[in-house]
Amino acid sequence: MSRIRSILLTWSDRYNHLREVTRDDVLAALDQLHGSQRHHALIALRSLFSRAKKNGTIFRDPTRRLRVGQHPYGVLQPLLADDIDRSVQSATTPAARVMVALAGVHAARAADMLALRLDDVDLGNRRIVIAGRARPLDDLTHRLLLDWLRHRAARWPNTANPHLLINHITATTTAPASGQGASLILHKQAATLERLRIDRILEEALACGGDPLHLASVFGLDTKTAIRYADSARQLLTASAEEQDPASSSEPKGRNHP
């Protein structure tokens, strides 16, 4: 309701009831908004009028057949180095350090980390299978996995849980750890597990020049997601090039200058 408060106040100056609001009124109000503001306002108005019609408060819904459309995503931005450093420093347990590496190096989702089983990790051949995709193990992740497995064996030597990441609750079961515990890791940091995952994909997108096919192949992204990262990378690369050579962006196109 806070998103459409100003719209409702404007209508209240002209109308005594919601049933007096027309489709043209809705379109006129939305024309004053742009981007995500318009998107969220339309969602809120559709919800309001849909509920009012269901309750019999109005006879027709003026937002009917008005399409919300695709969410207008902005350009993804890289994390600051200081934010990453603080998150790395705050990961003080072996399990937390492994999860930070899986997110920051392999762009793994928290749910996929918790679903990992011991046989998904092949330390000898330096391979790990995340969400069904085999990936090479870098030196950092390899070392952190070794540290975690040593800790796991010493802390719960008799556990029968087949999952890689366990805790004091799941060590006595065969169930994976809960997502609630994973969400608490880095929850007070700017660089959360999810932001580290996003930053890793964006880093790869910048390195490959914004190639969505490459991103889809490396991380198993769907087409729409890969294109979103690629578009952000290309815009960031273009902005960086213009900052380094501002004259190239200010010169008129198609003219010769002395």
Between 139-155 and 94-106, two packed helices, what is the crossing angle to 10 degrees? 150
Given a cut of 50, whether residue 110 has pLDDT beyond it is: yes
Residue 248 has pLDDT above 90, yes or no: no
Residue 253 has pLDDT above 50, yes or no: no
Phi, psi of 38 (to 5 degrees): -65, -45
More confident residue, 180 or 33: 33
Mean pLDDT in residue range 210-237:
93
Q: Which of 26-40, 73-87, 168-182 has the lowest mean pLDDT?
A: 26-40
Q: What does the pLDDT average to over 89-116?
A: 94
189, pLDDT greater than 70 = yes
Determine the pLDDT at residue 146.
97
Nearest to 228 by CA among 208, 205, 200: 205
Q: Are 110 and 193 in contact (CB under 8 A)?
A: yes
Nearest Cα residue to 190 out of 75, 102, 72, 78: 78
117 has which bridge partners? 163
Range 211-221 average pLDDT:
94
Query: At 207, which amino acid appears?
Result: A
**Residue 59: exposure state from Cβ atoms within 10 A (0-12, 13-18, ≥19):** exposed
The pLDDT assigned to 257 comes to 37
Return the closest-CA partner of residue 233 out of 220, 248, 214: 214
Mean pLDDT of 184-206: 89
pTM, full prediction: 0.68
Determine contact, residues 220/133, Cβ cutoff 8 Å: yes
Task: Label residue 239 by pLDDT band (50, 70, 90).
Answer: confident
Q: Which strands make up the sheet holding 127-130, listed edge to edge?
A: 121-122, 127-130, 133-136
CATH number of 92-185: 1.10.443.10
pLDDT score recorded for residue 196: 95
Q: Mean pLDDT across the chain, nearest whole number?
A: 88
- Rounded Cα–Cα distance for residues 196 and 217 (Å): 19
Comma-separated ranges of CATH 1.10.443.10 domains in the chain = 92-185
